[in-house]
Structures are given as structure tokens and as C-alpha cells.
Amino acid sequence: MTSSSSSCSLNWDRSDCSNVIYNNQHIIDIFNLNRSVTPKNISILITNQTNAIKIKLRDAVEYGFNYTALIDWAKFEFIRNEQCLDITYEEFQPQIIDLLNQTSLKQMQMRLDVTDTKCKLIFYEKSRLKSLIFLTIDLELTNQKEVIEELSDSIYQLQNFNKSLTTQLSTTKNQLFETESMLKTAVNKSSMIEKQFYKDLELILQTFLLRINATEVNISTELEKLTKRHQKLLGNLEVVKNDSRLKNESGARLLLNVQNLRIENEKQQRVINELKTEMDALKVGKTKIEEICEQLKIDSAAKEASLETLQKQMNELRRDMQDATLIIAQKTKTNDEIGKDLMEANRLLVNFNTQYDVLSNEIEELKERISCKDEVIKEQAVELDKLKRDYRNLCETNNSDEVNTVRLELNSSRQRIEELEKQYRDVVKVNGLLTKKLSNGELCDVRNINLPFHSKS
């Protein structure tokens, strides 16, 4: 069982709010007359009154589950003597609060034994052998007038909650209008930034293209110059070769010139290789620039898609605002109808309670009669068993005359048992007819009266 702390709400009596000692909700196992167990979320309220302590148990969902107990000094003395308690009246209040706190911490267990008109609150602990009961408190049904006052307080709280909702909706409307204006300004700013971005991209592309064209022209002119020099060198080499054939004396000088020319050629080849590497680097830069341009185009397309989604969300928000205004109007109408239905339901509840009390009294009388008949039948069955045992003993010990007398007594007792069984069957039939009448005839009308009240509440 778990508990959740709650403040002094309007559902309770407003006059007791200043004297509240304990007000929490607990999930408690409820044992009905047929020993069926149903866990419920029960609110427990303990208040101080003049020379007494008031304990109230209430289910927030089922208004009929409402029990109270007023414990003064005389009633506490009766409880203390009956349950053999070792505390005084002044220690009773803090002990109850301590037990409730222990149940919330799962150090103590709590259950409710509920009948038609009474309820018993039991604090106990479970062990392997048995359950040890610490304290039991008897509660009775709360006065109907007090229950109706609590219902009217809950209606007042719902009206206040509805008013707060209307104020929140008005504030959300204002916030939505402000967000719309901010979104419009943001869209305008984004469009201006996009235009400026596209212009800058075009300028960057133009500058890159111009520089790339200029570098290509310079490289081509330098390559043409180098090729011309190389051709001239080749021609000079041919001339030198011819001169070497003709002039053997100038061979050494020509060899030196050739070595010098080779060194210059190697330098020129190095320059050519460097120019080629620069060309490759420029091509790589060009590809990177093209990739950056494509990425920028993709980002601009994503921004356009996000703008479209924002516009769609704005349209959906406007539709939701219109739906919310319609729902608020419908809620105000339903709240008025709930007030009228509650007045009628209160009047019908009084009639239902009177009829229910009469029927419950009749049912209790019939149950008492049936229980009495059951006890008589059980006693007769026990007597029959005793007579059979005596009969067997007599058959073994006594003569035939005594056996005949015992047989006559057995027959008479059997006839009495058959008569009692017939009476029991008649009582069961009468009980079945009464339950059918209650379920089909009278209680159907009451349920039809209460059904709209539950649905609206």
C-alpha cells in the first residue's frame, strides 16, 4: 500500500480545514461481505473537534463510499477496554498518525472490512504464523446532508478550474499571436539573408573563375616559352654536334657547354614539374569549391523545406485554436447542464435512500431467518450423526426392542429434518424472488436515475 500527500481540498468540509491533523490518500484493500477483495484509493482525513477526534474515509470516485467516526473520551475508553490498549486519550491521536505513516512506509498494513452500513479500519502486521492486529476503529456511513455538501463543494471547485482554463486559453491565444508575428519577421529576415547569400556565392564563383582562368593563361604562356627554349636547345645541340665533328679541338669546350645545358634542362624540368603540381592543386581546389557550392544548394533546399513545415505548423495551430474555442463553448454548456442534473440527482437520491433502507431491512431480516434455519439444520445433522452412532452401539449391545425404539426416533428426526429442508427451500425461493424484484423492477429505476449523474460527474 502506498500513500500520496494532499492538501486540504474543497471536497472536505470547509469548517474543518483549520483543524486538519492528517489528510493523505492510501491504496487500501477492501474486504466486502462476500470476502471479495478490491483495492481502492481512499482519502483519510483526521480533524480536531471540541473534546473529540473526527476520522473520515472517502473514495473520490465513488461518492457512496463515505464513512466517519467521532471518537470522544467515552468512546476511546470503550475501545481501550475492548482492545486492551496501553495508551491514554491524549496519546491516541499521535499513535493513529504514526500508524498511518508506517503504512505509507510499508512497515504496517491496513485493510477495511465493509458492510452495508458500517466500516471497520484495521491496522495489522503479517507474519508466517498469523496476522497480529494492533488497532481497529469502527466507522459509520456519513450523513447524506454532509455528502451533498461535499458534492456541491466539488462542483464549485470544477467551476473555478474551468475559469482558470479560460484564462490560460486567453493567454495562450496572445502568445500564439506573438509567435505568429515573430515567425513572420523571422521568415522575412531569412528571405533577405538567402538573397544576400546567393549574391555572395555568385561573386565568389566569379572571382574564383577569373583567377583560375588567369592562372591557366600564365601557365600556358610559360609552358610555350619553355618548349621554345627546349627546341632552341635541341637545335643548338645539333649545331654543336656538327661543329664537334668538324672541330675536334673544341670538343672539351662543347662537353662543358653540354653539361651546363643539362643542368639548366634539369632545372627547367623541375620548374615544369612544380608547375604541374600547382595545376593539380588548382584542379583539386576547383573540385572542392564545386562540392561546397553543391552543399550550399542542399542547405538552402533544406531551409526552404523547414520554412514550409513551419508554415504548415502555423496553419495547424490556427485550426487547433478554433477547435479549442468550440470545445470551451461546449464545456460551458455541459457545466450548466451538470448543475441542473445535480439538483435533480440530489432530490432523487433522497427517494432512493428511503427505498434502499426499507429493502435492506427486509433483506437483513430474511438473511437472519436463513442463517437461523441453517444453524437448526446443522444441529439436526449433528444430532443424526450422534443417533447413528448410538444406534450402532445399541445394535451391538442391546436387544431388538430398544433397536425398534431407536428406529422410531430416527424416523421422526428424519421427518423433522425433511420439514426443515422444505422450509429452507421456501425461504430460498422467497429470497430469490426478492432479489429478482430488486434487480429487475425497483433497482432498475434507481439505476436509470443515477446513471446520468455518474456520467456527468
Please give the pLDDT value at position 101: 92
Please give the pLDDT value at position 8: 45
Which residues contact residue 323 at a Cβ distance below 8 angstroms, ignoring those fewer than 6 apart?
Answer: none
pLDDT grade, residue 373 (50/70/90)?
confident
Q: Distance between CA atoms of 56 and 69, rounded to whole angstroms?
A: 6
183-193: b (≥16 Cβ within 10 Å) or e: eeeeeeeeeee
Domain locations along the chain: 3-142, 343-456
Q: Which grid cell is 342?
A: 445535480
Q: Distance between CA atoms of 410 and 400, rounded to whole angstroms?
A: 15
Q: Which grid cell is 189?
A: 529576415
Amino acid at 131: S
Q: Which of 375, 394, 384, 368 is nearest to 416 (CA)?
A: 384
Residue 399 above 70 pLDDT? no
Q: Quickly name the fold that domain 3-142 has.
A: Dna Repair Protein Xrcc4; Chain: A, domain 1 (2.170.210)
Please give the pLDDT value at position 400: 61
Where do we find the cell 504464523?
Answer: 129
Residue 447 above 50 pLDDT? no
Q: What is the mean pLDDT of residues 362-369?
A: 78
Q: Which of 209, 45, 231, 232 is nearest to 139 (CA)?
A: 45
Rounded mean pLDDT of the chain?
79
Q: Which grid cell is 175?
A: 502568445
Please give the pLDDT value at position 157: 84
pLDDT grade, residue 9 (50/70/90)?
very low
Please give the pLDDT value at position 20: 85
Residue 311 above 70 pLDDT? yes
Please give the pLDDT value at position 405: 72
pLDDT in tens, 428-437: 777 777 777 6
Please give the pLDDT value at position 78: 92
Q: Which grid cell is 336?
A: 450548466
pLDDT in tens, 118-151: 899 999 988 888 888 889 999 988 888 888 887 8
Q: What is the mean pLDDT of residues 154-168?
A: 88
| Range in 53-62, 197-206, 288-297 the model is least confident about | 288-297
Residue 75 above 60 pLDDT? yes
Q: Which helix (H) or strand (E) element contains residue 48?
A: strand 37-49
Distances (CA, A) of 451 to 88, 331, 335, 445, 447: 47, 20, 17, 10, 6
Query: In the chain, what percentage of residues exceed pLDDT 90?
Result: 7
The most confident of the ranges 55-69, 245-259, 431-445 is 55-69
Please give the pLDDT value at position 450: 41
Determine contact, residues 2/104, Cβ cutoff 8 Å: yes
Please give the pLDDT value at position 97: 92
Q: Distance between CA atoms of 289 and 36, rounded to whole angstroms?
A: 80
Q: Distance between CA atoms of 105 and 26, rounded to whole angstroms?
A: 11
Please provide the size of the chain in residues.
457
Q: What is the mean pLDDT of residues 292-318?
A: 76
Residue 176 above 70 pLDDT? yes
